[in-house]
Amino acid sequence: MRNESAKQKKCVRYFTKGPSVATPLSVAEPMQQFGGNWTEVKLAMLKDYLAAYTTALKNQPFSKMYIDAFAGAGYREIETQADSLGLFAAQAEAEGEGFFDGSAMLALQIPTLFDRYVFIEKKKKYMEELRRAVSANCPSLSGRMDFQPGDANEILPDLCRKTDWKKTRAVLFLDPFGMSVDWHTMEAIARTQAIDVWILFPAGIGVNRLLKQNPDHIPARWQEKLDRIFGNGEWKKAFFKTSSEQTLFGEEIVTKKVRGSISAIADYYRERLETIFPRVASNPRYLFNTKRSPMFIFTFAVGNPSPKAQGLAMKIARHILGKVR
């Protein structure tokens, strides 16, 4: 254990300044670039949970797994325009570079190790960069690494099916760019009864943009996307109401949007999650862009049926979600 923690310190030192010299990045290739302050807030919350989780389960007889299903390249390049960075412009300037650790690298810095780290990433180039960064910076952890290139909606259900959940507990981070997490994937996760999941849900940037005033004006492809993320077509009943209205031309059947605020979308997603997970955070964190428009909600669900395990996980998650950052 003493050896492991010494090696971990080494990883921390490398990672906190972005990709190490051992993983040179081609300047001709675009770097993975996304996010702003909300990304930092989201990652800080994840990191806090991973630290609390590994500490709480330290002496439990389970194999502990971290699953990063939209893992990325392991680092992020932050735009340097002050207006997109806000507070983090000062940080970027102070560090003299625009690279910061992504979720995968942050997970590897948690002092108490997970037994296995599963990284899923669809884009080959990012997966290769992540492999290089991890093996260059944390060679001692190579036996714990499991890189799974491909689509999270295929790999996750498979992983959930094949893992022995009597002996394993996991934290899963779902961090897609948009509406990429299918409901059947959420169902597979919930069925394990052993995964705590952090979900970046595109309430504003995705769902809200697809919910037009009249559902008949929502293109079929968008409706399919909404069906896939919510699990069925019941969302129409949740957000729209059909009634008869008296008009100049007599009585008409009219369908109108009756719920459509971001908080209504967040509430509906929570209601959906509550149909498959025993506990879901009631205080999701709203993540805003620099124009103060809500883009995502960041939320948490626990799969463990034990009230004691649920109570502890929810207490930590509620605290993390509510903390001012």
| Residue of 50, 85, 107, 152 that binds ligand SAM (CB under 6 A) | 152
> CA–CA separation, 271 vs 172, rounded Å?
20
Total residue count of the chain as it appears in this document: 325
Q: How far is CA 130 from CA 41, 119, 121, 143, 223, in A?
A: 22, 9, 9, 15, 35
Check residue 175 for interaction with ligand SAM (CB under 6 A).
yes
Query: Which residue of this chain has its Cβ atom nearest to ligand SAM in the complex?
Result: 102
Residues 6 or more apart whose CB falls under 8 angstroms from that of 279 comprise 301, 302, 310, 313, 314
Q: How far is CA 299 from the centre of its chain?
A: 8
| Residue 16 binding ligand SAM, by CB under 6 A | no
Q: Which two tokens stand for residue 157?
A: 């259900």
Stretch that binds ligand SAM, among 131-139, 150-158, 232-240, 270-278 (CB under 6 A): 150-158
**Is 33 one of the binding residues for ligand SAM (CB under 6 A)?**
no
CB 79, CB 33: distance < 8 Å = yes
The 3-class SS string of 16-53 reads CCCCCCCCCCCCCCCCCECCCHHHHHHHHHHHHHHHHH
Nearer to ligand SAM, 109 or 304 (CB): 109
Smallest distance, Å, CB 146 to ligand SAM?
A: 14
Which CB sits closer to ligand SAM, 123 or 257?
A: 123
Report how many residues bind ligand SAM under the rule CB under 6 A: 20
Comparison of 53 and 240: residue with beta carbon closer to ligand SAM: 53
CB–CB of 216/110 below 8 Å?
Answer: no
Binding flag, residue 176, ligand SAM (CB under 6 A): yes
Residue spans of alpha helices (H) in 70-117:
82-85, 88-95, 103-108
Q: Which of residues 61-80 bind ligand SAM (CB under 6 A)?
A: 70-72, 76
CA distance 91 to 23: 23
Host H or E run for residue 75: strand 75-77
Among 37, 54, 153, 163, binds ligand SAM (CB under 6 A): 153
Q: Which of residues 113-132 bind ligand SAM (CB under 6 A)?
A: 120-123, 126
Contact residue for ligand SAM among 95, 97, 128, 151 (CB under 6 A): 151
Of the candidate residues 177, 252, 254, 322, the single one contacting ligand SAM (CB under 6 A):
177
Would you count residue 103 as binding ligand SAM (CB under 6 A)?
yes
Q: Between residue 239 and residue 278, which ones bind ligand SAM under the rule CB under 6 A? A: none
Based on CB atoms, which residue is closest to ligand SAM, 139 or 177? Answer: 177
Binding interface with ligand SAM (CB under 6 A)? 34, 43, 70-72, 76, 102-103, 120-123, 126, 151-153, 175-177, 180
